[in-house]
Structure formats: C-alpha cells, structure tokens
Homo-oligomer: A and B are copies of this chain.
Amino acid sequence: MNTKRVVTMLIQTVKSEIVSHLSYIIGNNNEAAVIDPRRDCKIYQQIAKNWGAKINYIFETHRNEDYVTGSLELEKLTGATIFHGPGLPWGFGKIIKDNQEINVGTLKIKALHTPGHSPDSTSYVLYDLESGEEPVIVFTGDTLFVGDVGRTDFLGEKMTPTMSERLYDSINDKLLSLGDGVIVCPAHGSGSVCGGKIREREISTIGIEKKTNPMLNLTKDAFIKQKTSEQHQTPPYFMQMEAYNLNGPPILGEIPTPYPLTPSEFKKTAENSYIIDTRTPAAFGAAHIKDSFSLTPKRLLNVGWVADYNKPILLVVEDLHALDFAADNLFRLGL
C-alpha cells in the first residue's frame, strides 16, 4: 500500500507535556531530520517509518538545561549525524557553522548562529527547494518563542546584560530579517521554565511576532533592561541536566519499566527513597504513606525540585495509565 517514497514535505511536532518541550521531525524524499529530539525517541523512528523515510540528521538548537536530550539514543537507533552550535562544551555531535547548509531530500536546512539564550544557541531555517530559495520555516529553539524570547540568565547575573544584548542582536539581525512570511517553530510552549510569558499558541510567523510579541517592540536598551530585571527560577535539577547533556546521558534504549512492590518490599526500600504520590490531592488527603510527596501528573516536573539523582523513586499511582505517564516523564528528566 505504501509506495515508500515521501515526496510531500512533511513536518510533525512531538510535544512533551510536562516540560512543554516541542520537537519536530521533517521529511522529504525518503530522508528525515529531527530538531531537538526528546529522550524517549522511538516515536521519531515510527513517524519516519510511516513516511517511508530514514532519519539522517539531528539538529540541536542548544545544549538544553531542562530536559535530557534524546540525540544519542536516536543516533544509536538510526545512525543519524548530530549537529549543534559552537560556544559551549559538547561531549558529542559535530559543530555546524554559521550559514552551513544541509540537504534533506529536496528541503534545505541552513544553520544560523543565534547566541543569547545560550552561547551555542542555533536556529535552523528550512527552505523548500520545490518552491525556490525562499525561507519557509525557522526552528528558533529557545531564542524566540510565541509571545516571548528566551532567558538570558543561565551564565549568571554578571553575564546577563551581555547575553541579553547578544539575544537582541540575534533576533533582530538574523531572525526578523528572514521576512514576515516565515513560520516560527519554537522549542517550548506555554508553561516552560525556559521562558516567562510564552503564549498558549504554539505556531507563529515572524510577521505575527513582530506585531504581537511585546519583547520585539523594545529598543535595544529597553530590551536589555527588561531581560536583566527578569526573575526566573532555576530548579536544582538543571545541574543534573547540564551534566547529562554535556557528555551525553546514559543510553537506555527503553523507558525503564517500574515494577510493583509488596508492602514489605516497599517499606524496606522506602527508607532510602523519595516517595512520589501522583493521585489526586483528595485521595492523598484521605490516606497517604508517611513522608511521601503529593505531586499530581501535571506537576511531576517538581520531582526535579525535591529529589536528587542518587536515590530511587517510589511511585504511588492511581492506575497503570498514571504509572506509564509518570515513568515517561521522569525518564525525560533523567530520573
């Protein structure tokens, strides 16, 4: 039934709810590429298989601080080449140069160095050569969001003004000049700790952002002042993410499957573990295990705030669906 030939330019967004992370797979002419893969990355291979395409490239928009990268897992599955920008240490992948171009079928990806959120921040512009040499989409990573721009405080207070200025220049000189008609695909949606006031809508264009993004209507001085005055939270688990994403996290192949414990096993393990209870607050209030944390599925990100990475986590869940949800999302945080 399948002719195993992708001619259409295909693009699909893969979203991870808890960290509000948006990754993308693009495909054309039996080739595919993934931008910012998440750790449980078989989904990209499945999509590519449905398209009859092979994933040949992985593009990282920056060394992420809020989730575990899936690049190495995906490289192992597919043999794809990993690219990232310069300016930060990376234990894996290749540096892609400013304006370097890579063909994916009849699509073309062009790297634009857009430092500011991170020194290695890189945006990727997609050209559809069928329609000509006009940019169609830009994957902006954490540089430009829908309604906001990236944080500039990760290198510390002293560097924030410098990074803010670099972000301003990257956005104004490199992104806005692509033209109003270019579609903007950012790496995070609303609720991410990587931005402040990211909108609920997850797709935009340069033209819409120029008109409606409050950060794009500031002078350079006002922009830097605004970015320098912002107060962001930096969860303690970001330290572990940095270690993972610098050298590459352990490759597990599969999301570890939690197994059930008998009450006596649970009690024995509990002494040296974090107990996370994802049931409703009402159920937790009615009865719960001593010293357990009540974190509903939507708030599982907060496990990264309370747990360190050296102790096991014991889960108390409502049902198997809740167990899967917790296992998937903790895996993405490296827990």
Whether, in the assembled complex, A89 has its beta carbon less than 8 Å from a beta carbon of chain B, the answer is no
Segment among A78-86, A206-214, A302-310 that sits at the interface with chain B: A206-214
Q: Which of A1-25 contact B (CB under 8 A)?
A: 1, 3, 7-9, 11
Chain B residue, CB-CB nearest to A213: B131
Contact A131 B199 (CB under 8 A): yes
Chain B contacts of A128 at CB under 8 A? 199, 201
Beta-carbon contact of B200 and A7 below 8 Å: yes
Docked pose: A325 CA to B189 CA in angstroms: 36
3 pairs of A and B residues whose beta carbons are closest in the complex? A181-B207, A180-B180, A181-B205
* B-contacting residues, A164-188, CB 8 Å: 179-183
Copy number in the complex reads 2
In the complex, the chain B residue whose C-beta lies closest to that of A106 is: B200
Q: Identify 13 new A-B residue pairs, CB closer than 8 A, beyond the known A8-B201, A130-B199, A132-B212.
A: A1-B297, A1-B322, A3-B298, A8-B190, A9-B201, A9-B202, A131-B212, A132-B211, A134-B211, A136-B208, A179-B180, A179-B207, A180-B207
Please tell me if A321 contacts chain B, counting CB pairs below 8 Å.
yes
A322 and B208 alpha carbons, distance in the complex (Å): 44
Q: How far is the CB of A184 from chain B (nearest CB, A)?
A: 9
Give CA–CA (A3, B179) in the complex, Å: 38
Interfacial chain B residues near A222, Cβ < 8 Å: none
Chain B residue nearest in CB terms to A179: B207
Q: Would you call A203 an interface residue if the criterion is a C-beta within 8 Å of the partner chain's C-beta atoms?
A: yes
With a CB–CB cut-off of 8 A, which chain B residues contact A9? 200-202
- Residue A147 lies at the interface, judged by CB distance under 8 Å to chain B: yes
Q: Does A269 contact B (CB under 8 A)?
A: no
